[in-house]
Amino acid sequence: MRRREFIRLFSSTVVAWPLTARAQQPPGKMRRLGVLLPGAPPDRLVEAMQGRLGELGYSEGRGVAFEFRWAEGKLERLTQLATELADLKVDVITAFSTPAAVAAQKATTTIPIVFTLVGDPVGTGLVSNLARPGGNVTGLSLLATELAAKRLEILEEIAPQMSPLGMFFNDTNPSMVLSAHRSQDAAAKLGLTIQSIGVHDLISFDSAFAVVESGRVAALLTLIDPFTHEHRQRIVDFAAQQHLPAIYDAREFVQSGGLISYGPNLLAMQPRVAEYVDKIFKGAKPGDLPVEQPTKFELVINLKAAKALGLAVPPALLARADEVIE
């Protein structure tokens, strides 16, 4: 599917912007915005970006033309799709996830790139530093140094006998490899043991699940990336079947039946992507725009899952929750 099919798909869901927003439409040049996705539409994060663009005066055919490319979970396709966008000479490429951002960076050194959902943009070589990225790349990072330790502390509150801990992560995603190391370091400081368990395709789930089924872990941690997010139901169901407490990076896992999650509010971050795009459309250089780190985090608890595991959620933890699913 390409841009026109995507626009038709969203035609019933994208908000019709008010006349005040339309009146702000920038006159003159029609910009072309590339959108590079690891998954497939519909995507609520893209919709959040589009919503803010509409408020800023850009909607399809009014100040901007969207060029959508998505890999449908086949991350090896991102290189080809990014090259297509570069060949079209779009004005800006928005890249959702580390693999998409890396593919876009390889495809062009001149077209501005705004990334989002990237775990460690410095560690993966996307930017030289967060304050002044340099080059043609900037965006929003998921990196927050205290997150790894905080997740482990939260899981320990609800499940004190959680060590050793099994950690599912996509071992082919360089950002997730760095995040896994960060979690290992945080666990060591807390006196916990983590067993890293790589998953990157459907076949790898068999060996990953076998490690857990062997009884070598007492709880689970899952790091989010496009692959683990796409297969979150499989991971959540497995944790429930094994009767294991588990913590996740994002609320979607808890909404799918998982126990608890703690991480940035991904939906709240996406309007900032639109604001970066707007600045670049108006002449700003991406290398001069600092990479933003998340400022809003959310704790989501599923009481039904806790009950099924025989866990009593401490009142203090419940009081801190941003959402409780009953």
pLDDT at 2 over 80: no
Alpha-carbon gap, residue 47 to 24, rounded angstroms: 20
pLDDT at 112 over 70: yes
What is the arithmetic mean of pLDDT over 217-235?
94
pLDDT digits (tens, 9 = 90+) for 116-174: 999 899 999 999 999 999 999 999 998 766 789 999 999 999 999 898 999 999 999 98
Q: Is 101 exposed, middle or buried (0-12, 13-18, 19+ CB in 10 A)?
A: buried
Q: How confident is the model at residue 26 (pLDDT cuts 50, 70, 90)?
A: very low
Q: Which residues pair with 62 in a beta bridge?
A: 59
Domain definitions of the chain by residue range = 3-143+266-288, 147-264+297-325
pLDDT at 185 over 50: yes
The pLDDT assigned to 263 comes to 94
pLDDT digits (tens, 9 = 90+) for 264-294: 999 999 999 999 999 999 999 999 999 999 8
Instruction: State the pTM of this model.
Output: 0.86
CATH superfamily of 147-264+297-325: Response regulator (3.40.50.2300)
The pLDDT assigned to 146 comes to 74
The pLDDT assigned to 13 comes to 41
| Pairing label, strands 297-302, 260-264 | antiparallel
Q: How confident is the model at residue 68 (pLDDT cuts 50, 70, 90)?
A: very high
What is the arithmetic mean of pLDDT over 229-240?
96
Q: Tell me the CATH number for domain 3-143+266-288.
A: 3.40.50.2300
Q: How confident is the model at residue 73 (pLDDT cuts 50, 70, 90)?
A: confident
End-to-end Cα, the chain, rounded Å: 38
Find out whether 175 and 124 touch, Cβ atoms under 8 Å.
Answer: yes
What is the arithmetic mean of pLDDT over 61-83?
95
What is the arithmetic mean of pLDDT over 229-258?
96
pLDDT at 14 over 60: no
pLDDT at 51 over 90: yes
Tell me, what amino acid is at 86? A
